[in-house]
Amino acid sequence: MMAFRRGRRLGIDVGSVRVGIAQCDPDGILATPLDTVYRRDGDPAALARIAALVAEVDPLELVVGLPRSLDGTERASARTALDFTAQIAAATGLPVRLVDERFSTAEAHTVLQAVGRSARKRREIVDAVAAVVILQSAVDHEKRTGEPAGSVLRSQSEDPHV
């Protein structure tokens, strides 16, 4: 069994309108929300903001949620999310691990509701909290098993699915 790879990581929840970003400490003890980046197709501002956050945090890798349906098959939004994830990888030069994100947004809504956030206020930060759920799950998995969670995003010339 491998040991936990020490180093900061960024968790990313790619949505069609917002990208939630979370970070964890080098020991993977706690993931916390970092930012929510708004994006539109073809707008380079979102990629620039994500690249700036990566430069600021200097993570070991990016952990990105892979949209899947309840039965584990790829959802329609997965292709768009994977395309944007490939753009993030190219813009940052960092390795990307794709992890199952089923229930991450629902879990984020539950957490925010439990702490008294109104539906309107939840909308503003739910993506960053979903990124926390994705990242914390990934670091917990690696600590428990010694193996990194998910699979490595392949280059765009290859099939990005694993």
pLDDT of residue 2: 78
* Helix or strand run (H / E) with residue 145: helix 119-145
What would the mean pLDDT of 118-123 be, rounded to a whole number? 65
Going from N- to C-terminal start, the domains of the chain cover 9-152
The model's pTM is: 0.85
Q: pLDDT digit string (tens) for 25-81?
A: 999 999 999 999 999 877 799 999 999 999 999 999 999 998 765 566 666 777 888
Residue with tokens 């957490």: 111
pLDDT of residue 75: 65
Query: Considering only 43-52, 100-109, 123-132, which range has the smallest mean pLDDT?
Result: 100-109
The structural architecture, per CATH, of the domain 9-152 is 2-Layer Sandwich (3.30)
pLDDT of residue 154: 83
Token duo for residue 6: 């020490």
Contact 31, 97 (CB under 8 A): no
* Alpha carbon distance 85, 74 (integer Å): 15
Residue 117: how many other CB atoms lie within 10 Å: 17
* Alpha carbon distance 108, 91 (integer Å): 27
